[in-house]
Structures are given as structure tokens and as C-alpha cells.
């Protein structure tokens, strides 16, 4: 199974930013035009972009559709796929995103409602619906990471598997944006649930990527701050993953 890299474009007020541990007040703007970020990663060879509407995650509905359309225009021109998350909490929004050309929709907060996720998987297919499981100290965080639930991340993963989900994006919030390395133990525990796992949070080097590639069930990684700061060169990382 190939290992895919997903350059991240996080949207806040129409700009591409990176947060520190998910804190909206600690946002660094890297591109005022998100389409420029998309073009940068597409030209480096990315096959998939990971886009999150941060404003939407807090508001409960996407707020950056214009930026999403601009990213899609760049991606479509190069045959690159896009997955989108952030505030997608009703079926109408799922359908709207897919109609725009989004390849995969990421369900976060409402993943706690297993029946609803099962309905989405049945309606749109497991290749179009993925679940974002974001955790702080192993417990699921929702609503833009503002609230921590009483649900263990691995328990939610098992419920998602029963709902028909095949792929989850797992983020350790305390590692996100810190460049301190992924939480490998949690990644291994998540992969042990039988789901395909895309790792997110803390990746800081090619060595981190190599180690993730050795974990059975981990099929990819989201790269954010490491790319924007130059800690990881995307072309070099893609070469590593495509050997």
C-alpha cells in the first residue's frame, strides 16, 4: 500500500494559516492567498491537498467557500484531489462540497453520532466520507478543538469502523503545530483498530515520516507547519514515499 502525503492548507478569514496546538489566537499567516499555497504544493508534486476551514469548525458551518473554490481551481487544473473539513455538520453541506469537486469530506464533531456517519457512508460511499478524530490526551475534542469529550479516541475509531468508515485522520492536538514529532504510540493504537489512518500533528522531519511509514495501517500523513517553515521539503518527502 502506498503512503500518501497531504500538504495542509488551513483557512482563517480567507487566508492560509497555521495554528499552535489548535489555538485560534495563535495563528501565523503564511499565505494571504490560499490559492498560492495550493499552487506551491501542487507544483512540488502533491497528489492530494488537505484543506480545513478553521472558521467553519468554530462556527458550525463552512465560512471560506471562496477560498475553497480558488484552491479547487488550482488543484483541478493539475489533476490533484482535495479533502475538506471544518464545520461540515449536515448532509446538505456534504453534498455541496462534493458537488464543488471536493474528493473527500472530513466529518469531525458529528462523528460522535455514529448513526449519522453510517448514513453518510451509505449515501456517498466510504471513499468520499472520512472521519477526523482529533484528540487531546487521548480524548476526542470537538467544535474546533474547543471542547474535550468523555470519549476515547480509539473507542470512537472502533465505532466509526462499525459505521462503515474506512479511513480516519488522527490528530494529536498537543503535537499540532509544535514540530515536536508525532505521538507514535497513539498512532499505533489508532491503526490497531483496523482503520486506515492518516497521521497528523507534530511531524517535523523526514525521519518522522519514515517512522510513520513503518506502522502497519498508517497510510499517509498531513504535513503543515513543517512545510511552511521549511523543516521538510515536500519534493524530497514525496520522493521518499514513492520509492
Specify which residues 4 forms β-bridges with.
Answer: 220
Nearest CA-CA partner of 28 in 41, 38, 40, 15: 15
Is 134 known to be catalytic?
yes
In this structure, the number of other CB atoms found within 10 A of the CB of residue 44 comes to: 16
Specify which residues 29 forms β-bridges with.
Answer: 17
Q: Is residue 101 classed exposed, middle or buried when 0-12, 13-18 and 19+ CB atoms within 10 A define those classes? A: middle
Q: Give CA–CA dist 236/89, Å, rounded.
A: 36
Q: Give CA–CA dist 25/83, Å, rounded.
A: 25
Residue of 10, 172, 176, 208 marked catalytic: 10
Residue of 53, 134, 172, 176 marked catalytic: 134
Where helices occur in 146-243 by DSSP H, the ranges are 153-162, 184-191, 206-213, 225-228, 234-241
Q: Is residue 77 classed exposed, middle or buried when 0-12, 13-18 and 19+ CB atoms within 10 A define those classes? A: exposed
Cα–Cα separations (whole angstroms), residue 144 to 21, 107, 140:
11, 12, 11
How many angstroms from the chain centroid is the CA of residue 211? 19
Q: Name the residues annotated as catalytic.
A: 10, 134
Amino acid at each position: 500500500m502506498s503512503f500518501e502525503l497531504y500538504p495542509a492548507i488551513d483557512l482563517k478569514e480567507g487566508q492560509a494559516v497555521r495554528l499552535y496546538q489548535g489555538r485560534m489566537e495563535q495563528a501565523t499567516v503564511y499565505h494571504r492567498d490560499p490559492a498560492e499555497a495550493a499552487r506551491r504544493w501542487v507544483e512540488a508534486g502533491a497528489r492530494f491537498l488537505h484543506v480545513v476551514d478553521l472558521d467553519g469548525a468554530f462556527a458550525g458551518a463552512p465560512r471560506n467557500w471562496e477560498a475553497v473554490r480558488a484552491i479547487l481551481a488550482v488543484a483541478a487544473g493539475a489533476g490533484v484531489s482535495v479533502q475538506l473539513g471544518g464545520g461540515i455538520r449536515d448532509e446538505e453541506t456534504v453534498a455541496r462540497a462534493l458537488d464543488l469537486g471536493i474528493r473527500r469530506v472530513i466529518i469531525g464533531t458529528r462523528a460522535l453520532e455514529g448513526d449519522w456517519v453510517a448514513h453518510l457512508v451509505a449515501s456517498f460511499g466510504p471513499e468520499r466520507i472520512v472521519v477526523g478524530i482529533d484528540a487531546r490526551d487521548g480524548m476526542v475534542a470537538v467544535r474546533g478543538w474547543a471542547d474535550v469529550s468523555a470519549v476515547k479516541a480509539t473507542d470512537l475509531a472502533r465505532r466509526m469502523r462499525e459505521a462503515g468508515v474506512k479511513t480516519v485522520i488522527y490528530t494529536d492536538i498537543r503535537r499540532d503545530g509544535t514540530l515536536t514529532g508525532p505521538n507514535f504510540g497513539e498512532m499505533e493504537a489508532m491503526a490497531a483498530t483496523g482503520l486506515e489512518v492518516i497521521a497528523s500533528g507534530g511531524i517535523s522531519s523526514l525521519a518522522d515520516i519514515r517512522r510513520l511509514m513503518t506502522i502497519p495501517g498508517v497510510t499517509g500523513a498531513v504535513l503543515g507547519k513543517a512545510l511552511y517553515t521549511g523543516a521538510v521539503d515536500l519534493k524530497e518527502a514525496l520522493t521518499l514515499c514513492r520509492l
